[in-house]
Amino acid sequence: MRKGRLIIDEPTDGRRNMAVDEALFNIAHEESSFPITLRLYGWTPPCVSIGRRQSFDMVNIDECLRKGLDVVKRIGGGSAVYHEHELTYCFVSRLDAMPEPKGVEWRAIFGSLLENFGVSPDAPDDRGLARVETCFASSGDDEPTVNGRKWVGSARRRSRSVFLQHGSILLARQPDFFDQLVHTKVEDNSTGLWEIIPDISAEKIASVLTEKIGEAFGVEFHTSPASAEETDEADKIIHRASTAAI
């Protein structure tokens, strides 16, 4: 059984959340002893994030600011997401600590999470992932749906020595006004676990998700905060982004 670290962070703003994910990815390259890490967190204020290869031109920045929303770019790929009522996860490891999981392995984890609460996921759809502007308009092979609706969305980043996967587990569906925040021609296809499993809490989902990931990857997680080096790296990332924006 491999040893792993579980970081449980209080909800914070989008820049800090994405900086911490990026800091974990960066530090994993520098430290051969970097632990297999699962980070769980939330967002305040609500935020719109876009994938690494997307442009801020697709976001209605003025409308986001009017609604008091953060706007950030993720280190991972994927498409635009509205973050508010959700549990967000980030899984980071060196490749010499464990192999990068395949999409079907993540799908099994998320399916097992549903089944733990008595819900059966839809059968896999082999049509493939459509490239669309918003994450919850289309499902990938690692994202099981329920009644055709998408409730979990993930993105990833990989180098020669480190991999990262992070994503959103929705408690509530993407908001009706999301098409006012991003320029998109596709319809939202999201649902939230509150619609599927009434009264479920983010804390319970976090507990079961940690258990399922540990079982699937052979990792025993122990709760521990980000290191001083990782926090310092996140601060530097935020500072560099702030300086570049001036």
User: Which residues are identified as catalytic?
Assistant: 135
Beta bridge partners of 43: 12
**Number of C-beta neighbours around residue 239 at 10 A:** 11
Measured between alpha carbons, how far is 217 from 201 in angstroms, rounded to an integer? 24
Cα–Cα–Cα angle for 238, 6, 161, rounded to 5 degrees:
65
Measured between alpha carbons, how far is 11 from 15 in angstroms, rounded to an integer? 12
Tokens 């204020």 identify what position?
Answer: 45
Residue 164 and residue 90 in contact, taking contact as beta carbons nearer than 8 Å: yes
Give the DSSP H/E element, type plus range, for residue 21: helix 14-30
Q: Which 3-state string (H, E, C) describes 67-86?
A: CCCEEEECCCCCCEEEECCE
Measured between alpha carbons, how far is 111 from 123 in angstroms, rounded to an integer? 10
